[in-house]
Amino acid sequence: MIKVDQVGKSYKKGGLFSRERQKVLQNISFQYKQGECLGIIGESGCGKSTLGRLLLGLEKPDSGSVQLEGSISAVFQDYTSSINPYFTVEEAIMEPLQMKAGSRRTHDSKINGLLEHVGLDPACRSKYPLELSGGQIQRVCIARAIATEAPCIVLDEAISSLDGSVQMQVLELLKKLKETDKLGYIFITHDIRAAAFLCDRVMIMKEGQIEEIVSVEHLKDVQSPYAKKMLQMMLA
């Protein structure tokens, strides 16, 4: 479970000696239930990726708190920089495995299974990122994330850099893993269709604040004018 309580975050604005700060998140409070898929939706600049970094512990809030029970992993938008280009697929997946107890031989034996689990041929374990397609690299990133055995994965615009048909393939993979591995996701996206396909609930953000939280089943019944307008624009 993750509990976010009255979180605020701002960044320095202007030059080196400026005291002005820009608020990015204001009074963010919500709970994530283990095993669910919570979509965080909003336009560019609304603060959703900043919130993702706070959930992962990559940054700290200026105010409020983020309480996390258990571990959490991540898959990011820019898959080209998520994996060291000089690492083979095998080395990229071995990296998080080595953080767990066990011998290298034990970890090595898991790699083929992880690759097959995300729909990749184990023969690709000796390849480098430049030898793979974008969809294949993102599947490697997903394999790395599930290798940690974290019950929750933050997916920060994880499909937005992929072509349409490949996006759907990755979404179907994520949905399958949610069921087979009992995984939970925090799915950060601007694509409401993708969120509706994968998520149980969606949290709509506007200018650093939560506008509305609603179950996917009741997505068409959003109450706030902004949420209604955004849905109309995205579904047009």
Whether 159 and 236 map to the same domain: the answer is yes
Whether 115 and 181 map to the same domain: the answer is no
Calculate helix-pair angle for 164-180, 134-147, nearest 10 degrees: 20
Whether 5 and 117 map to the same domain: the answer is no
Q: Are 84 and 162 in contact (CB under 8 A)?
A: no
Segment 160-191, tens digit of pLDDT: 888 888 999 999 999 999 999 999 999 999 88
Segment 136-167, tens digit of pLDDT: 999 999 999 999 999 999 999 988 888 888 99
Is the predicted pLDDT of residue 109 greater than 70, yes or no?
yes
Q: Which pLDDT does position 222 carry in this prediction?
A: 87
Q: Residue 62, exposed/middle/buried by CB under 10 A (0-12, 13-18, 19+)?
A: middle
Whether 65 and 100 map to the same domain: the answer is no
93/102: higher pLDDT: 93
Domain boundary, last residue among 150, 179, 203: 150
Tell me if 140 is assigned to some domain. Answer: yes
Is the predicted pLDDT of residue 18 greater than 80, yes or no?
no
Find the domain containing 86 and state its range. Answer: 80-150
d(CA 142, CA 115): 9
Q: Which pLDDT does position 116 carry in this prediction?
A: 94
| Domain CATH for 200 | 3.40.50.300
Whether 89 and 138 map to the same domain: the answer is yes
Q: Which pLDDT does position 221 carry in this prediction?
A: 86
106/131: higher pLDDT: 131
Whether 96 and 211 map to the same domain: the answer is no
Q: Which pLDDT does position 204 carry in this prediction?
A: 94
Average pLDDT over residues 14-36: 87
Whether 159 and 46 map to the same domain: the answer is yes
* Whole-Å CA distances, 194 to 67, 143, 168, 185: 27, 20, 8, 13
pTM, rounded to two decimals: 0.90
Whether 101 and 145 map to the same domain: the answer is yes
Whether 106 and 54 map to the same domain: the answer is no
Is the predicted pLDDT of residue 80 greater than 90, yes or no?
no
Q: How much of the chain exceeds pLDDT 90, in percent? A: 65
d(CA 154, CA 186): 5
Q: Which pLDDT does position 203 carry in this prediction?
A: 95
